[in-house]
Amino acid sequence: MADVLVLGGTGTTGRRVVAGLRAAGVTARAATRKPDAPGEVRFDWTDRSTHAGALRGVAAVYLLAPIGEASPAVLVEPFLADALDAGVRRVVLLSSSAVTEDTPGLGALQRLVRAAPEWAVLRPSWFMQNFTGEHLVAQGVRDGEIVTATGDARVAFVDAGDIAAVAVRALTDPEPHNTEHVLTGPAALSYAEAAAIVAAHLGRPVRHRAVGRAEFAEHVTASGTPAEFARVLAALDEDIRRGAEDRVTTDVEQVTGRPARSFETFVQEEIR
Ligand SMILES: NC(=O)c1ccc[n+]([C@@H]2O[C@H](COP(=O)([O-])OP(=O)(O)OC[C@H]3O[C@@H](n4cnc5c(N)ncnc54)[C@H](OP(=O)(O)O)[C@@H]3O)[C@@H](O)[C@H]2O)c1
């Protein structure tokens, strides 16, 4: 099979997609703005001169949209046109459980991707990996207090490794999926329940503080996030508070043949 181009190939899902493709014997090209390792290719959404080289000889693309763009279709539409012209047949879009075709901005990408001859749209719930690394929730774990505007509503956190495993199947299965997959973990948890699992594992207090939407937006802005994006994140928390993420799907198991990783296993294996 020809190469697969993995956009966001150095990120949370992309580097796992690259690893999964290579383990399956597929040549994966990891797109990054700063390539410094074999198998990486320079790609910058904002520099179209990098697109043709990244697409040369590529049969399928894992498409992670430009992050933080209010109208990502402005960049994605010409890229997709170039990709199809260059011979790409299959496109797998990383979207979000919170995004439907009708969502302003990101929703347009789902419509664009359906125009590819072969396609899949991945709509994961919130990542378990938000509890590690640089994410605000991970900072909350370090501080002993996770702040959200989700109240006591639940989220079916999903493992980035499971998202990547579904992506690898969607990119390589002989039959194109030509559908969307809503991806969740095996159980929905409130942030208070998740914090209790993390606390028990670390052996120190980690609590959840539920705040209102405006206070949460201020909290996010104080961490260095632009105010406009903080308001978007606060609105997503509000949706969670209303129950939008309190559902479990079986898509991970249906696509990969193995059950989705539990939050408890993730915590034991990835939180130090
Ligand atoms: N976190 C969640 O709970 C959650 C839930 C559902 C959906 N999502 C969606 O997941 C996506 C993020 O995916 P992720 O977590 O896998 O990524 P990530 O870890 O945030 O990594 C971002 C990637 O984008 C690349 N990148 C940044 N700016 C770029 C540019 N101008 N041109 C080309 N590449 C650029 C980075 O590569 P370099 O820095 O190497 O260039 C990096 O590989 C978002 O669209 C978000 O909406 C997240």
Residues 149 and 267 in one domain: yes
Whether 185 is in the pocket of ligand 1, judged by its Cβ within 6 Å, is no
Residue ending a domain, choose from 82, 104, 124: 124
| Tokens encoding 6 | 């993995």
Answer yes or no: is 165 within a domain.
no
Is the predicted pLDDT of residue 167 greater than 70, yes or no? Answer: yes
Whether 96 is in the pocket of ligand 1, judged by its Cβ within 6 Å, is yes
Whether 126 is in the pocket of ligand 1, judged by its Cβ within 6 Å, is yes
Whether 129 is in the pocket of ligand 1, judged by its Cβ within 6 Å, is no
Is the predicted pLDDT of residue 222 greater than 90, yes or no? Answer: yes
- The β-bridge relationship of strands 189-190 and 154-155 is antiparallel
Is the predicted pLDDT of residue 68 greater than 90, yes or no? Answer: no
For residue 134, the CA-to-ligand 1 centroid distance in Å is 13
Residue range of the domain that includes 37: 3-124
Tell me the mean pLDDT in the region 126-135.
97
Residue 178, C-beta contacts closer than 8 angstroms, at least 6 positions apart: 118, 119, 120
Whether 94 is in the pocket of ligand 1, judged by its Cβ within 6 Å, is yes
Q: What pLDDT does 193 receive?
A: 98
Is the predicted pLDDT of residue 69 greater than 90, yes or no? Answer: no
Q: What is the pLDDT of residues 92-119, one digit of tens each?
A: 999 999 999 999 999 999 999 999 999 9
For residue 186, the CA-to-ligand 1 centroid distance in Å is 24
When the pLDDT of each residue in the chain is averaged and rounded to a whole number, the result is 97
CATH number of the domain residue 102 falls in: 3.40.50.720
Q: What backbone torsions phi and psi does residue 153 show, to the nearest 5 degrees?
A: -75, 160
Tell me the mean pLDDT in the region 198-204.
98
| Tokens encoding 204 | 């120190």
pLDDT confidence band for 70 (50 / 70 / 90): confident
